[in-house]
Structure 1
Amino acid sequence: MPAPIHWQNSSFSGGTDDGSNCVELAAVGGTIRLRESDAPDSVVTASQQQLAAFIRALKAGEFEPGIAHDV
């Protein structure tokens, strides 16, 4: 039986006091897993490098609405 995953809520998530609007993260076997608390069965898995690149792209505005980007 695999060990249970310890999910942590992002300190930037919220909007409700019951924690139902949160991004949750877990480190599992050298990967990072992300999910929304209201959809816990949908999990994205990424390496630390992939997650860092994604965050850099978000900060750079590469996913702004109305702007087409090559994937």
Structure 2
Amino acid sequence: MRTHQWRKSSYSAEANACLYVSAPDNATIRLRESDEPNTILTTTPNALAALIHSTKAGRLDHLGTA
């Protein structure tokens, strides 16, 4: 696998559970978590923007309840 330039989220603390993002081109965004660096989620900018918008609007709050 090709190495990508990863950037740490500014919201991540200095300890564990840091989120890293890589955008190797304009159509792909890759996300990984510091505790599982070999597990990489791949998405598009539009899909990630829709997820963030839905999360901020509270439309996914019901998913955290049993």
User: TM-score scaled by structure 1?
Assistant: 0.75
Runs (4+) of structure 1 exceeding 2 A deviation are none
For structure 2, the 5+ residue unaligned runs are: none
Matched AA of 2:37: P
Aligned to 1:14: 13
Aligned to 2:60: 63
Cα distance between partner residues in 2 of 1:25 and 1:50? 14
Residues 28-67 of structure 1: pairs in structure 2 closer than 5 A: 28-29=24-25, 30-64=27-61, 65-66=64-65
RMSD: 2.0
Cα distance between partner residues in 2 of 1:8 and 1:49? 19
Which has more helix, going by share of residues?
A: 2
Cα distance between partner residues in 2 of 1:66 and 1:22? 24
For structure 1, the 5+ residue unaligned runs are: none
Identical-residue share of aligned pairs (%): 38
Query: Max radius of gyration: which structure?
Result: 1
